[in-house]
Structure 1
Amino acid sequence: MNLLAVERIKLFTTRSPWWCALITIGLSVGFAAILAGATDANDSLTVSATQFGGSQFGIAVVMVLAALAVTTEYRFNTIRTTFQAVPHRSPALVAKAVVVGLMSLVLGEIAGFGSWGLAKLMRPNDNLALATGQDWANVAGLGLVFAFSAVLAVAVGILIRHSAGAIALLLIYTLAVESLVQLIPKIGDNIHQWMPFNVVNKFLVGSAPAQNGPPPSDSPLSPGWALAYFAGISIVFLLVALGVAKKRDA
């Protein structure tokens, strides 16, 4: 508990998490407002469409936040003090991942319900009720995806240790790499089915295409297993990062 308290103080006493949090919520809610305002009156906005900003762009900012939580310590060498206080290293890094993950979970819930609520206010005649399990996954599930994405980003930050490198890798991967994989002849589509962010999109969106929303995932997994798959990848990356952190100099 002491380690969690220490990591919480570290996180909330710097400016970058607060700015990233505001940008995450602003992008998520802002895109919902844009879509609600731009959708023709004769068309109906869908629940998944209201989450477009969060699932496509908010998640990238959350990963930047998580990576900075680690790499900033390496940049200013405060990580040495942390490792001197916790020689085994892993408990301190796990505590950091837990704190960042919980903050990202809260941000995801605020972004998800904020986007949905604003869209419902702007378009009261559209069918935006949370009537099915998939509707609830669209909105409430965004927090879970943010949390596991943050854990993954913490692992990347531990492995790379440099802010610019970690952020560049995360942004390029989330915004471009998975889509470009489909261009590989013959095997591209098969590989894309198992790419982590494509898979977790199955949990958020399901299989049905949504008007004005994110494209459906082509993952063969069910939504529940898609979330479990993404969570497993995040945890595996974190375990690998912990092993690497133990073996090298701070």
Structure 2
Amino acid sequence: MSLLTVERIKLFSTRSPYWCLAAVLAASLLFALLFGLVEAGRNAEPRLVLSGVGLGQDIFMVMAALAVTTEYRFGTLKTTFLAAPRRTSVLTAKTVLLAVIGAVVGVICPFAAFFFSKALASDPPSSLVLQGEVWREVTGFAALFAVSAVIAVAVGTLLRQSAGAVSILLIWPLLIEQLIGIIPTVGPKIQPWLPFQAGAAFVSPTRASSIGDVLSSNGPTPVQGLLAFIGYAVVLWAVAAVVLRRRDA
């Protein structure tokens, strides 16, 4: 518990986490505002309304990675290791703190975006109702944010450089996983099972939508996608823990 308290104090001792969390909320509400107002909100389907939350997830990963890399930059992690020699415990405390924050943010932002867009839409679609699998599409971001925090902490621990960690966390889901999908024959089969594509399946609709947005037949089910995403995070975190114990701080 003391390590969690220390990590909380260190995290919120600067302004950057507050700005990042504000950016996550702003990104979530921006798309909700857009789809809630355009054409009286007739196209405000849950997956579109919540698309800004996915962008917010990327911003949150940046915040989680910086929580590690800035400590390497300013040398505060060495002091922490002197006070708590068990490095894995320190990494665990930091990961748990950020995962809990991610889960809370992953609940607040999608609910705010959903109801904000619904309030703005004068002619909302029938799907913009919090029932059935829409519950999963909205609340599922809590799990994705939490798991993303684990991945971001692991990447930050492995690289220790802010620029490198942020670049990987932004380029991998936004570019690399998309490029893999265009590889002939193999790409479309592999892409749905890549980390962030699999995670996105957990908040994707399985029902047919007005524009035909359904999960790929080659891809995982929502539960399979979440389990795959968690699996990637656990493996990456375990590697980071081993590397952290074996190298100099």
The bucket for the TM-score relative to the shorter chain is: over 0.9
Cα gap change, 1:136/1:83 in structure 2, threshold over 3 Å: closer, same or farther?
same
Q: CA deviation at 1:53?
A: 0.5
Cα gap change, 1:187/1:247 in structure 2, threshold over 3 Å: closer, same or farther?
same
Partner of 1:5: 5
2:93 partner amino acid: A
**Match runs of 1:37-52 below 5 Å:** 37-38=37-38, 40-41=39-40, 43-52=42-51
Partner of 1:84: 82
1:181 partner amino acid: I
Q: TM-score, normalization: structure 1?
A: 0.93
Partner of 1:236: 235
1:29 partner amino acid: L
Q: CA deviation at 1:148?
A: 0.5
Identical columns (%) = 40
Cα distance in structure 1, aligned partners of 2:79 and 2:180: 41
**For structure 1, which segment, 79-88 or 59-68, has the greater mean C-alpha deviation from structure 2 after superposition?**
79-88
Instruction: Give the number of equivalent residue pairs.
Output: 246
Contact 2:42 2:123 in 1 (8 A): no
Q: CA deviation at 1:124?
A: 5.0
Cα gap change, 1:172/1:42 in structure 2, threshold over 3 Å: closer, same or farther?
closer
Does 2:109 align with 1:111? yes
Cα distance in structure 2, aligned partners of 1:209 and 1:186: 25
Does 2:169 align with 1:170? yes
Q: CA deviation at 1:123?
A: 1.5
Partner of 2:191: 192
SS at match of 2:131: coil
1:167 partner amino acid: V
The answer for unaligned runs of 5 or more in structure 1 is none
Partner of 1:95: 93
Cα distance in structure 2, aligned partners of 1:11 and 1:212: 43
Partner of 1:18: 18
**Match runs of 1:90-169 below 5 Å:** 90-123=88-121, 125-126=123-124, 127=126, 128-132=128-132, 134-169=133-168
Aligned residues: CA RMSD:
1.8
Cα gap change, 1:236/1:186 in structure 2, threshold over 3 Å: closer, same or farther?
same
In the TM superposition, what whole-angstrom CA distance separates every residue of 1:124-169 from its partner, at most 9, and x where no partner exists? 542321110x201111111211111011000000000000110011
Cα distance in structure 2, aligned partners of 1:15 and 1:30: 22
In the TM superposition, what whole-angstrom CA distance separates every residue of 1:51-110 from its partner, at most 9, and x where no partner exists? 01012x111101100000000000001111111112120000110011011111111111
2:221 partner amino acid: S
SS at match of 1:167: helix
Q: CA deviation at 1:224?
A: 1.6
The answer for unaligned runs of 5 or more in structure 2 is none
**Match runs of 1:193-208 below 5 Å:** 193-208=192-207
Q: CA deviation at 1:212?
A: 8.0
Cα gap change, 1:79/1:211 in structure 2, threshold over 3 Å: closer, same or farther?
farther
Contact 1:51 1:115 in 2 (8 A): yes
Partner of 2:73: 75
In the TM superposition, what whole-angstrom CA distance separates every residue of 1:166-225 from its partner, at most 9, and x where no partner exists? 001111112111111112122111110211111111110133454689x54435322122
Contact 2:41 2:123 in 1 (8 A): no
Cα distance in structure 2, aligned partners of 1:249 and 1:234: 24
Q: TM-score, normalization: structure 2?
A: 0.93
